[in-house]
Amino acid sequence: MSELHFEHESLPQRVCFASGEARAMLARVVARLKGSRVMVIASARDADRATQITADLPVVHRHTEVAMHVPVQTAKRARAAAGEHDVDVLVCLGGGSAIGLAKAIALTTGIPIVAVPTTYAGSEATTVWGLTEDGHKTTGVDPRVLPWAVIYDAELTMSLPVPMSVASGLNAVAHCMDSMWGPRADPIDRAVAQEGIRALSIGLPQIVADPGGLGGREQVLYGAYLAGVAFSSAGSGLHHKICHVLGGTYNLPHAQTHAVVLPYVLAFNTPAAPEAANRIATALGSTDALDGLQELRQRLGAPKALRDYGFDASNIDAAGAAILSVVPNNNPRPVTTGDLHRLLYGAWQGTDPTTITYDTESRR
Ligand code: NAD
């Protein structure tokens, strides 16, 4: 009987990796695109760096209005600016918020994006867009929002503070782990995700030990890219469904929420997903997936409890109900209301995930 049976779509994208060379790489990539009217998107905090690395480009507009989760009104103003200036290439520098704004413009205009990421969120490698209106986040998938090229220059991530680097890096680890059992997960996604976890688990402790060192930052950027690639193909698994509800409805910080919730999902799913558990453990250099993750989190001083990030325990039941309606059918283990209550309560309190007992039997 055939053991390998899948359909995998590889996304077309140029990926350039060279620390300290963002300016030269941008010039080459924009020339290749024959860009003659460039719009640069970077928050006010990044404006100086953006000016430096885009100095050789034909810039017609610099846009600094960048906000987390891309509010619809922010997107409308950015689209209007792109139209007014007859822009033919979008260059964005920053984290998922700056890249998200470029994606919002590309979604309605098809203008190609060149992304220069400065966090480990991985949005640059995905076809996923997101917009927020009246506290409600809508996401969708569209090939037009995939950046045409990505330029990774680890020197641009040096300024990312260690706690944010840790949370953002664990957000990337979460992309990899959820790619093991996402709704479209295939063997290619799992292989890419495994290499992503390996690189992230090597690089993150190096950043904590030596925040000014380049090696750890490069490993984590490389891992974050692989995480985005795997996640874009595999789709949102249980972990992302949980974090999407928590972030979107209760306005919790994106990266920290992922960092807290991940061990709870891993403890829940891995008993029913032995291949994933094995790959994760191997990638972490451990004999057990959860032990490996917890050791890594310990070394990094990772975020521990949702109550530290503004989540109120009185919202657990409503959040659980919202999550239950979107849990993927192929999750390795069936999920009940009671399971989600225990998982969320544990994550709210920062309980040891191995001590939580769930309703559902694992299928092992
Ligand atoms: P972000 O872009 O908002 O950045 C977080 C903070 O770090 C900001 O204050 C930013 O100014 C600062 N920052 C960024 N780079 C820095 C640097 N090098 N030095 C110092 N400070 C720096 O947040 P994020 O975590 O990168 O991205 C989160 C957003 O991206 C969310 O809206 C999330 O939904 C979205 N996202 C989308 C996808 C996708 O596939 N579409 C994937 C992941 C995340």
Q: From ligand 1's centre to the CA of 96, what distance in Å?
A: 4
Does the beta carbon of 42 lie inside 6 Å of ligand 1? no
Residues 6+ positions from 351 with CB-CB distance below 8 Å: 345
Q: 106 near 90, Cβ under 8 Å?
A: yes
Q: Is the pTM of this model over 0.85?
A: yes
pLDDT at 42: 98
Under 8 Å between Cβ of 313 and 333: no
Neighbours of 143 (CB within 10 A): 11
Q: If DSSP codes are grouped into helix, strand and coil, which group holds residue 269?
A: helix
97 close to ligand 1 (CB < 6 Angstrom): yes
**How far, in Å, from the CA of 94 to the mean position of ligand 1?**
7
Mean pLDDT for 302-326 is 96
- Condensed to tens digits (0 to 9), the pLDDT of residues 153-184 reads 999 999 999 999 999 999 999 999 999 999 99
Residue 364 corresponds to which tokens in the numbers above? 């092992």
Which of 48, 64, 123 maximizes ligand 1 atoms within 8 Å of its Cβ, making it the mutation to test the pocket? 123
Any ligand 1 atom below 6 A from CB of 159: yes
Instruction: Specify the pLDDT at position 230.
Output: 98
Confidence of residue 3 (pLDDT cuts 50, 70, 90): confident
Distance 316 CA to ligand 1 centre (A): 26
pLDDT value at 98 more than 70: yes
Cα 335 to ligand 1 centre (Å):
30
Which atom of ligand 1 lies nearest, measured to the CA of 158? 18
Report, as an integer, the average pLDDT of 315-319.
Answer: 97
> How far is residue 321's CA from residue 327's CA, in Å, rounded to a whole number?
10
Is 122 touching ligand 1 by the criterion CB < 6 Å? yes
Counting from 1 in the atom list of ligand 1, the atom nearest the Cα of 125 is 40
For residues 85-92, give the mean pLDDT.
98
Both tokens of residue 73? 């009104």
27-38 per-position pLDDT tens digit: 999 999 999 999
CB distance 169 to ligand 1 below 6 Å: no
Query: Which atom of ligand 1 has the smallest separation from the CA of 128?
Result: 41
Q: How far is the CA of 121 from the centre of ligand 1 (A)?
A: 6
CB-ligand 1 contact for 69 (6 Å cutoff): yes
Can you read off the two tokens belonging to residue 268?
A: 């829940």
By CB atoms closer than 10 A (0-12, 13-18, 19+), residue 346 is buried
Q: Which ligand 1 atom minimizes the distance to the CA of 127?
A: 40
The beta strand positions in the chain, using DSSP E, are 14-17, 38-41, 59-63, 89-94, 113-117, 128-133, 136-141, 149-152
Residue type, 350: G
Instruction: Read off the tokens for 179.
Output: 């790619």
Mean pLDDT of 53-67: 98
292 in contact with ligand 1, CB cutoff 6 A: no
pLDDT at residue 213, rounded to an integer: 96
Q: Is the CB of 257 under 6 A from ligand 1?
A: no
Q: How far apart are CA 28 and CA 15, in angstroms?
A: 12
Over range 347-360, report the average pLDDT: 94
Please say whether the beta carbons of 13 and 147 come within 8 A: yes
| Euclidean distance between CA atoms 250 and 12, whole angstroms | 35
**Band of pLDDT at residue 305, cut at 50, 70 and 90:** very high
Residues 271-287, mean pLDDT to the nearest whole number: 97
Q: 165 CB less than 6 Å from ligand 1?
A: no
Residue 254 confidence (pLDDT): 87
pLDDT at residue 364 is higher than 80:
no
| In the predicted structure, residue 363 carries a pLDDT above the cut 60 | no
- Expressed in angstroms and rounded, the spacing between residue 83 Cα and the centre of ligand 1 is 25
Residue type, 128: V
Output the six-digit token pair for 53.
């690395």
The rounded Å distance from CA 69 to ligand 1 centre is 9
361 pLDDT exceeds 80? no
Name which residue sits closest to atom 27 of ligand 1, judged by CA: 96
pLDDT of 248 reads 80
Which pLDDT tens digit goes with each residue over 65-81? Answer: 999 889 999 999 999 99
Strands (E) across 30-88 are located at 38-41, 59-63
Backbone angles phi, psi at 195, to 5 degrees: -65, -35
Q: Ligand 1 in contact with 221 (CB < 6 A)? A: no
Q: Is 160 in the pocket of ligand 1 (CB under 6 A)?
A: yes
pLDDT in tens, 225-252: 999 999 999 999 999 999 999 988 888 9
- In terms of phi and psi (left: phi > 0; alpha: psi -120 to 50; beta: otherwise), the region of 139 is beta
Residue with the nearest Cα to atom 36 of ligand 1? 96
